[in-house]
Structure 1
Amino acid sequence: MSKLALFQDRINEEIPLSQALGIRLLSWDGHALLLSAPLAQNRNHQGTGFGGSVYSAAVTAAWGLTELALSDLGLRGAVVVQSGNIDYVAPVDQDFYVICRLPGGEIPAKFRKSLARHGKGRLDLTAEVFCGEPTPEPLGRPVAVFQGRFVVKDVHSKVTPHAAR
């Protein structure tokens, strides 16, 4: 079973909402994660994409990219979203897909140093949502853009919280 297929199973098990939304991981090249979701399972009362579903797919793409990038580096950590914002630019009127890329194509050196030194790092990511047939190089403009900050805590770290002053 491929790494991506194993990760799909993990997401379905650990994040049950991803299965309900029909999220499918399509590709991971070490720099970008591409996933898709069907409109039928994610529509609102107007027949377009439900905002919460679109947001959830975008968060899943960014979280998944972080997890996969750490794994590629041989690192493990607890990944959580600290903050997130999405701009809905146009209606999601058909099946959609999300692309999340590492900034500059790789995990930033500042993040790696912070994780090594402090046992915790923050990663700012952007995930773009598009309608239509999934492709890693979309020609059109995104219908939604998610920006989020993810915190990774090294699971082996002995860092303790600062005492209250």
Structure 2
Amino acid sequence: MSQLSLFQKRVHDEIPLSRAMGIQLHSWDGHSLLLSAPLEPNSNHQGTGFGGSVYAAAVTTAWGVTELALWDLGLRATVVVQNGTIDYLEPVTSDFYVVCRLPGEEVPERFRKSLAKHGKGRLDLTAEVFCGQPTAAPEGDPVAVFQGRFVVRDVKSRVSL
């Protein structure tokens, strides 16, 4: 089973809402995570994306980037969102997807040093939400933008995902 398949199972097992939302992980290339969700179970009374679902998909993507980056570093830890905000720029009118990238396409050196020295750290991430077919290289503007800070603590060497 691939790393992404194992992580997909973990997301559904540990975040039951993700299964109900129909969240699917599509790709992780070491710096960018692509996740999608269908509109139908995530719609509101107007037939557009429910704000809570859009937020949940975005925060799940950013949390996933943090978890997968730690995995790639050979670490496991407790990862929680410390704070997060989202700007809804346009209605979500179809199935949607979220792209979140590590800042500068890599784990920041300051974050690495904090993990090594203190066994904890903070990572600020941005996740962008788009309508349509999932792609890691969207061409249009996002319909929503999430910004959040994730706290990593209790860092240990990885034993299993």
Q: Alpha-carbon deviations, 1:107-130, whole Å to 9, x = none?
A: 100001111111210000000000
Is the contact between residue 115 and residue 154 of structure 1 (CA under 8 Å) also seen in structure 2? Answer: no
Moved more, 71-80 or 83-92: 71-80
The answer on 1:128 being equivalent to 2:118 is: no
Q: CA RMSD in A?
A: 1.0
* Structure 2 spans left out of the alignment, 5+ residues: none
Q: 1:8 — aligned with what?
A: 8
Is the contact between residue 98 and residue 129 of structure 2 (CA under 8 Å) also seen in structure 1? Answer: yes
Q: TM-score, normalised by structure 1?
A: 0.93
Deviating 4+ runs (over 2 angstroms): 154-157
Q: 2:33 — aligned with what?
A: 33
Q: 2:105 — aligned with what?
A: 105
Which has the bigger relative contact order, CA under 8 A and spacing at least 6?
2
Letter of the aligned partner of 1:76 in structure 2? R
Rounded to whole Å, the distance in 2 between the matches of 1:156 and 1:28 is 22
Is the contact between residue 80 and residue 151 of structure 1 (CA under 8 Å) also seen in structure 2? Answer: yes
Letter of the aligned partner of 2:123 in structure 1? L
Q: Alpha-carbon deviations, 1:12-71, whole Å to 9, x = none?
A: 000000001100000000010000000001000000000000000000000001100100
Letter of the aligned partner of 1:44 in structure 2? N
Percentage of matched positions with identical amino acids: 75
Q: TM-score, normalised by structure 2?
A: 0.95
Aligned pairs for 1:73-92 (under 5 A) are: 73-92=73-92
Q: 1:160 — aligned with what?
A: none
Moved more, 98-107 or 148-157: 148-157
Letter of the aligned partner of 1:119 in structure 2? G
**SS of residue paired to 1:41:** helix
Q: Alpha-carbon deviations, 1:123-144, whole Å to 9, x = none?
A: 0000000000111111100000
Q: Which has the larger radius of gyration?
A: 1
Letter of the aligned partner of 2:145 in structure 1? V
Shift of residue 155 of structure 1? 3.7
**Aligned residue pairs: how many?**
157
Rounded to whole Å, the distance in 1 between the matches of 2:82 and 2:65 is 15
